[in-house]
Chain A
Amino acid sequence: MLLEKTKLLDQYFDEVLKEQQQIDLLLGDPVHPNLYSLRDMARQSFRSKGIPHSGMEDWKYTPVRAFVEKILRVKDGYPKYSSSAADALQLEKSCYIMVIIDGKWWPHLSDPILTDSLEIASLDQVSSETAKIAHLGAHADIEHPFAALNTALFSDGIMIRVKTGVLLEKPIYLVHISMGEINPMFYPRMLFVAEKHTKVTLIEKFVVSDTSIYTVNNSVSEVVVENGAEMEHYYIHTENELSVNLQYARVILDEGSKYSNYNFALPGSPFIRHDLHVSMRGTGAETTLYGMVLTSKKQLVDNHTCVDHSVPDCISNEHYKCIVKDQSTLVFNGKVIVHPDAQRTNSFQKNSNLLLSDDAVINTKPELEIYADDVKCSHGATMGQFDSEALFYLTSRGIRENTARQMLMEAFAAEIIEVVPDEMVKQYLKNIMAEHL
């Protein structure tokens, strides 16, 4: 029985891959001149590995198959989500809004974009072929099974390019709505390029609509921050129990660039796996990765980050804080690689966890690989419960235990929320965090 189901899923992907291959053959290559061969490699890579299983080191605690398998049942009337979840657009003020439904960009639902500072286009309509050809498929690692699957199957995709020297004041706000209109599994593909000496804020928020069905979002982003450019990049997950997220992003940092990522996952989605891989390719680059994860019920949230320092004089700073409740599972894997040439690297990593239930599980693993000698690196993971002395102190002042616990959770989260530079996003996050704590 189990075997049969397993086979069904593999068969499903086999068919989907074949179908896409035929479409590609028929249509040629509108998106990218080398797409056909790229897809070929991706297909092979995916076929050789298949959907990851617990025997694979990077997926040890993350039983992804069960969550993907559910897409096969969608057509047999998997229940629809009925209550209203239309909180999608709370950030709309003073942002360039882009609406992306099931991975497809809807220009007519989105804001018009200033073309002399910014290009936003679907991949087949990009005006600057140079940037696209240089980067599309060049950075995502197709050894990663889901990066491979996305590469083999994505259809339109979006490119955002901030043109040289432009300092964008308004954030670009991408609302990803998972609906499952055509297919319960879809493959969004993004290419973000901040050209030389630009400044840009990207906010990506993941939501569902009130007609959504069970969906699996298998997305890949390639992010390039060129010389002297600065990017602030937010992920905000507020999906519900029908939305599974498999997200892969590779970030390339050129000389003197800065990239900060703020990754917020709130209770809702049953399964989120994030792979965030930042490569320091130019000297003097800096990256900051902050994460705040709050899990409840039977959720599983897995963040795999990797920072690799291949050139000298770069700085990386990472702090993930997680509050883990109920029967949920949290996985954190933070890899830092300092290659032999990356002298004078500064790299700090911290993972702090608040484990609030006997039935919850945390698997955390920092991995440091250092091959250079003149470096400053540190990492640490902490695991704690509520501090009983602090709880007693608060309750002894007349504060009810529940309120006291909430205050302590907010205090724990505050360290990450307070560093959020964008005031609007900070306020928004404070509000939604308060709702969930």
Chain B
Amino acid sequence: MLTINNLHASIDGKEILRGLNLQVNPGEVHAIMGPNGSGKSTTASVLAGKPEYEITGGEIIFQGENLNGMAPENRAAEGIFLAFQYPVEIKGVSNINFLKTAVNEIRAYHGLEPMPAKEFLNRIKEKQELVQFSNDLAKRSLNEGFSGGEKKRNEIFQLAMLEPKLAILDETDSGLDIDALRIVAHGVNSLRSKDNAFIIITHYQRLLEYIEPDFVHVLYNGRIVKSGTKELALELEEKGYDWLKSESRDYITA
């Protein structure tokens, strides 16, 4: 589904990703961990097509298509979804209206008519229940004045509404209380299928107890320095990153 080959990306002339490789197949869940500033959110933004980033080398192939130069809206329509680490507040745009526009623009991209109002409302209701997202929140301006946890839940609500093929969750767990964490995990698990895939960026093993990953990767200094199965997450929780940092330094100098 997704193949990232030797990806180099920079922002404002500063190289952040330095030779990233990753292969994600349908049905898989990948976790990406790594120290602060290692390039996890950058990877997520580059995948979603944030215009500020420049790809200076390598390629991203999504469902057989090179994403380089593709606009974010088209990537979304092709099935990429990013749950933001820091969701933006947009005053004056209602949550529901925003979702309706998104759903229908994606449908238009695929040559489909707008979704009938009734179907849309049913879907809203169903997905709201799935992630226990309150009606009050859904009616308000997009994320405006939402608490940190409410914003994260809204990201998962949107994810559920848009049903992407590849969902990237950037630290969706941070800021969530224990109940919310379970709700979000439940939401994600019930959306999992053999046709879609998840990339879950997190600092904590806890989320991975609820959403079991097939692979765990460690990102450091703009590249993946170690990959393993879910046991790697446990090992990281115990030992931290220092042992990997020295290992990767050896690797770089070698």
Contacts and interface: CB of A to CB of B under 8 A. Distances in A.
A396 B105 contact: no
Interface residues of A, number: 24
A398 B92 contact: no
A413 B49 CA distance: 28
Interface of A: 387-390, 392-401, 403-404, 407-408, 410-415
Contacts of B49: 395-396
In which size bucket is the chain B interface? 20 to 34
Contact of A396 (B72, B101, B109): B72
Contacts of B76: 395-398
A398 B106 contact: yes
Contacts, number: 77
B90 interface: yes
B88 A393 contact: yes
Nearest to B79: A398
A393 B52 contact: no
Nearest to B141: A411
Contact of B92 (A389, A404, A411): A411
A398 B82 CA distance: 11
B72 A392 contact: yes
A72 B171 CA distance: 68
Interface of B: 48-52, 71-73, 75-77, 81-82, 84, 87-88, 90-93, 98, 101-103, 105-106, 109, 141, 158, 162
A395 B71 contact: yes
Which 5 residue pairs of A and B lie closest in terms of their CB atoms, listed nearest first?
A: A411-B92, A398-B76, A414-B92, A398-B106, A397-B102
Contacts of A397: 73, 76, 81, 98, 102, 158, 162
B90 A398 contact: no
A413 B48 CA distance: 29
Main secondary structure, interface of A, reads helix
B71 A401 contact: yes
B102 A399 contact: yes
A411 B91 contact: yes
Nearest to B84: A393
A410 B101 CA distance: 14
Contacts of B50: 392, 396
Nearest to A418: B92
A154 to B, nearest CB: 41
A393 B51 contact: no
30 contacts: A389-B88, A390-B88, A392-B48, A392-B51, A392-B72, A393-B87, A394-B90, A394-B93, A394-B98, A395-B76, A396-B49, A396-B72, A396-B76, A396-B81, A397-B76, A397-B81, A397-B158, A398-B73, A398-B77, A398-B103, A398-B106, A398-B109, A399-B73, A399-B98, A401-B71, A408-B90, A410-B93, A412-B92, A415-B91, A415-B92
B138 to A, nearest CB: 15
